[in-house]
Structure 1
């Protein structure tokens, strides 16, 4: 990929047998065969075996199994062995079955989630699933997009990308299209963008140069596999077993020694029968200290909790996490697209008095339709509104002079337009507090310009808050 970074745009496009207009449909299969599919391999193999191991590798179950084996060796009792083994199997099997069901349900949910990206093929821009991308595809990247493959920027318009997941740097990296010579880490190449990073501002066109396992994050996938964090249940179980083990260490050996010495003083010698009897008694004491039913009772309750959660449409992949749920006071969740339709529409265009304003409607439509980059769902909704209200003919009379796209620092987007021989008109749209902070005057109800005072600012913010609560 460093080679692609050091070449100019035309050379990179030629290298991947593509063009600015994008691949022809018949070239997609050839590229997919040559460079592979845009899917990162799942390094978490043998999931069922790992889940089975996790279900039975429980401190309580291990302790019971050790006692069960020792008991069968020293004093075989088939009935007791069957009972203890049954408890072990019930405890582990219940956990395994419930986690398997939850895992399958979670996998179905993941398969329902797709990443859609705009790609240009045969000169036509269309939206496709990221898994359908091939090397050489021309992508149209905009603010809010998750970059679906490793790409070489071929045209950038103030694009900034959040690469913190790969670099740890909190500040977004500005991307350019000019070739660069990169002697250090490939992540330092500012004309490359990488799978899994996010477009924070601006827009760009880019050519896909690596897909699937050949991407930076694909090569890191196996290294990124981290050990699961221990739950409250795991830590609590370990603490309980530690207490029981300490109790056994402090009581069982002394009892064994006392019984052996007692037999010695009674018989006048160490007899194997006496030692074996003392050992069996000590193990019996250890079994008495170990609550055999605890593992089964705990597993049953955790499984029941998981089933109850599933009835409320909550999937619990690890039943041991149920205890963490019970200890939770506040659950924070992003509602966008979950509790809503994930669709924005324009309801009304109002002035600072809450009255419909055709001027506000015209200006906001000019801002959103003339932005050459970094459009988002709000802009799309405003553009849709302009088309629906037949405003496009009037808006087309304005010529775009320049624009500054929205970013999360300025929190506003600006366009400069001109209508024939009129003076340039600058229109800024953004968060109300930000707009008020840079404003000095406003239009009153009569359309007269007035100085912006604190009272008007408070009334405007109060109106915004009222709208937010509707």
Structure 2
């Protein structure tokens, strides 16, 4: 049925605007629904009308935040609000130095944050670039080359090897078509396509009658019917999913935000109370304002935002050395809190190099050693190296795999690479392990002719000349067995073919996740130079089987074990087949739901039948998910997050984009990853290796530990400063410190002392403890008690010395300088106690972090300038001190250090005893 040219087609008559399972429709039915003639295609007029109705074949660009908005968002933090308010108030009161210093702190933090955030996601742009620029179509009965953006539903496109699908198409004709869909589905091997309909509920990776935008034809030819363009394509739907994925706060940002909100209200409340009390006492309004500002400045940890940013930036540098490139600063800390890692299989947990692992020939079973494309290792039987002279069937099986083969094994810069099909490359590698050289054999038995692989026949055959002309054949077990009548025996003579035994061997290999190929041979006539399918239709001599798999990385197995010991669940989410995925997962050592002693792999088709309420339970118990569609990966991540899990997700394809963005931390592959995956991620692995994730998690835990140490170190100072001001107001005495002196303490000590904790080595057993619970507050009860203890000790020491100095006749400036110096010295001594929050300093080593001592030395030098240089005296209202005053100040610092050391020692011993008692109880039960 043709559409009348004078009438615009209604959208209700064309299926692209409806939900349609094109893969399950017969090709002729699809052509009828889209009202197009396969041999002529659309007319130019009809194509123009459809483009007006459905738009161009491009994806909608999402509006991005401007650079100005991105910069202004850096000020959107509760603590920053207080500092900005303090800046304005001090400016209005004419305290220009105070105002400049406070605003300088805010500006530095915002600039650092903007520089990092300006590297924002560009996943949508990368998706648009993945669409092809040109397409070959039938328009009005003739071939035309047009921009892919001009394609419309109903267009007939022509494709061949090397082309990319310019839109989603229903295959109408396909000849030996193989398509690389790894970027979309995650499947590592090129997929064979055909034009026959498939089941409506088949997941994306099993829709063999479809071709999808951005995937590539690796072999064969096809004619396709465009059924979806632009945003309606599968890759367009992924774009929408990426846009809709949430940008989640990290555990640290959530905790700091909660802490900041609490601190904001406490500070504002104290300032209001202070202002009201002083006003009722009859104090001057401007003086009262300055007093409130002093309290706010003292209570706010001004150095915290800057210190956190710098600590995370240094963590980025550390992780880069472990082959993990961090794109967002907060990802450093998130890694340390991760309790679930969802990993792709191919190339991350495995070598991404097909390897023959088992061979069955001449009635004997063999295994191989060595992994990947490096031709090192042996073929063994009962742990002894196989001798080809004792099993001619094995020799011929290997020769068949080597000669009936179009791939090439090459060494480049110390790396062994395959040019051609990875499966054929594995056959060449295993033959090399047995001492067979392809070049030598090709000289002895030169190839005369080839029957290329065709999906209809499921095999490839080659004719070879030489002293004994032979035909070698390799293909699916079914195709080879049905053409074979005998089997080659170890002595090189044909014998009886036991098909039942071979099928059992195949079943055993397939059960271990191996991809099994069968091999056969046939004598050719002298001088024969051509072969076709009639020559290989029967009477072949069966040679044997070779089972191969993309093997797990040894370092990945070790890393998975380490992660699981650290309380981190590892789950495999792959586009590969369920049996292969479960077999690899078992070899790697993943823990999950089992049946009959085997790991259970849940498929994408099964996930379609599971509701959102039941899904979280299933996901928590299951370790392997196979043949999953892009939207299902997103569902799995969300299901885990619904159980308060901190999820790290790895991926390399376009299909991984939404899940990478939704995850708490998205991890893209640097070598095999697409631009979409990298731009949607928070971290990129330069070596595509799971062990690098484990290393990054370890570094992340170390960074989180050191951040916690910094916060525990800095808060007592703010508490002590607030308490001393409140006590002075309560006693109606003069202020022990000026606002600008409070800023001096908070900023110099944060940089020169607190930041030295970033160089603190990771504590022993950091990967032996479970992940930090997401609902655990930033400060535990023990740490809060320690913060209160140190804060009150600072109050006692500083205010006691202030009263002492004023009582003996010192000037106010001199007494304030003593108080300021007390805080600096006590913080320096307390810094040594904060190098570990649990272990006494003797347990971690006095000199394992020399940077702490460098920082203290520089801090004392700077404080000496504060005390003794006229310029600093004028700027900060300080005054020179006598040696005896310094002696009293250092004595106060030593007292605080001793008290905290004793408290830590007591807590450590009690904790050790409880741990031993718990372990003893576990052993008894």
> Same fold, TM exceeding 0.5?
yes
The answer on 1:46 being equivalent to 2:65 is: yes
In the alignment, is the contact (CA less than 8 A) between 1:398 and 1:418 conserved in 2?
yes
- Once the two structures are superposed, the pairs formed by residues 8-407 of structure 1 within 5 Å of their partners are 8-9=26-27, 40-43=59-62, 45-46=64-65, 48-49=67-68, 51-72=70-91, 75-100=93-118, 136-138=156-158, 149-154=167-172, 177-178=195-196, 193=210, 195=212, 207=224, 209-219=227-237, 221-225=239-243, 226-248=245-267, 251-263=270-282, 278=288, 280-306=290-316, 314-324=324-334, 336=347, 345=373, 347=375, 351-352=379-380, 353-355=385-387, 357-365=394-402, 376-380=421-425, 382=427, 389=442, 390=446, 395-396=462-463, 397=471
CA distance in 2, matches of 1:159, 1:3: 22
Tell me the CA shift for residue 346 of structure 1: 7.8
**Which residue is 1:412 aligned to?**
515
In the alignment, is the contact (CA less than 8 A) between 1:413 and 1:430 conserved in 2?
yes
Alignment deviations for residues 248-284 of structure 1 (CA, whole Å, 9 cap, x no partner): 2563343334334433xxxxxxxxx756654553343
Please, which moves more after superposition, 388-397 or 83-92? 388-397
Q: TM-score, normalised by structure 2?
A: 0.32
CA distance in 2, matches of 1:317, 1:193: 36
Q: Who wins on radius of gyration, i.e. which is larger?
A: 2
Residues 354, 297 of structure 1: alpha-carbon distance in 2 compared, 3 angstrom cutoff: same
Residues 347, 147 of structure 1: alpha-carbon distance in 2 compared, 3 angstrom cutoff: farther
Tell me the CA shift for residue 378 of structure 1: 1.9
CA distance in 1, matches of 2:474, 2:319: 54
CA distance in 2, matches of 1:337, 1:133: 38
Residues 276, 40 of structure 1: alpha-carbon distance in 2 compared, 3 angstrom cutoff: same
Please, which moves more after superposition, 332-341 or 1-10? 332-341
In the alignment, is the contact (CA less than 8 A) between 2:177 and 2:192 conserved in 1?
yes
Tell me the CA shift for residue 45 of structure 1: 2.0
In the alignment, is the contact (CA less than 8 A) between 1:418 and 1:424 conserved in 2?
yes
Residues 150, 59 of structure 1: alpha-carbon distance in 2 compared, 3 angstrom cutoff: farther
CA distance in 1, matches of 2:247, 2:98: 36
CA distance in 1, matches of 2:541, 2:196: 31
Match of 1:234, SS state, is helix
Residues 47, 416 of structure 1: alpha-carbon distance in 2 compared, 3 angstrom cutoff: farther
Tell me the CA shift for residue 152 of structure 1: 1.4
Match of 1:379, SS state, is helix
CA distance in 2, matches of 1:298, 1:287: 18
Alignment deviations for residues 316-351 of structure 1 (CA, whole Å, 9 cap, x no partner): 221233334567899989894999897975838965
CA distance in 2, matches of 1:415, 1:121: 40
Tell me the CA shift for residue 382 of structure 1: 3.9
CA distance in 2, matches of 1:386, 1:415: 19
Match of 1:221, SS state, is helix
In the alignment, is the contact (CA less than 8 A) between 1:56 and 1:92 conserved in 2?
yes
CA distance in 2, matches of 1:261, 1:319: 48
Residues 345, 276 of structure 1: alpha-carbon distance in 2 compared, 3 angstrom cutoff: closer
Residues 6, 309 of structure 1: alpha-carbon distance in 2 compared, 3 angstrom cutoff: closer
CA distance in 2, matches of 1:98, 1:50: 14
In the alignment, is the contact (CA less than 8 A) between 2:472 and 2:521 conserved in 1?
yes
Residues 195, 55 of structure 1: alpha-carbon distance in 2 compared, 3 angstrom cutoff: farther
Structure 1: which 5+ runs fail to align? 23-29, 123-130, 167-172, 264-272, 370-374, 436-470
**Which residue is 1:430 aligned to?**
547
Residues 351, 317 of structure 1: alpha-carbon distance in 2 compared, 3 angstrom cutoff: closer
Please, which moves more after superposition, 323-332 or 309-318? 323-332
Tell me the CA shift for residue 93 of structure 1: 0.9
CA distance in 1, matches of 2:65, 2:326: 20
Tell me the CA shift for residue 295 of structure 1: 2.4
Tell me the CA shift for residue 215 of structure 1: 0.8
Structure 2: which 5+ runs fail to align? 1-15, 42-47, 139-147, 186-190, 355-371, 389-393, 407-419, 430-436, 450-460, 464-470, 480-505, 523-534, 552-578, 581-925
CA distance in 1, matches of 2:521, 2:98: 91
Tell me the CA shift for residue 286 of structure 1: 1.9
Match of 1:228, SS state, is coil
Match of 1:52, SS state, is helix
What's the RMSD between the two structures over aligned residues?
Answer: 6.4
In the alignment, is the contact (CA less than 8 A) between 1:13 and 1:136 conserved in 2?
no
**Which residue is 1:439 aligned to?**
none
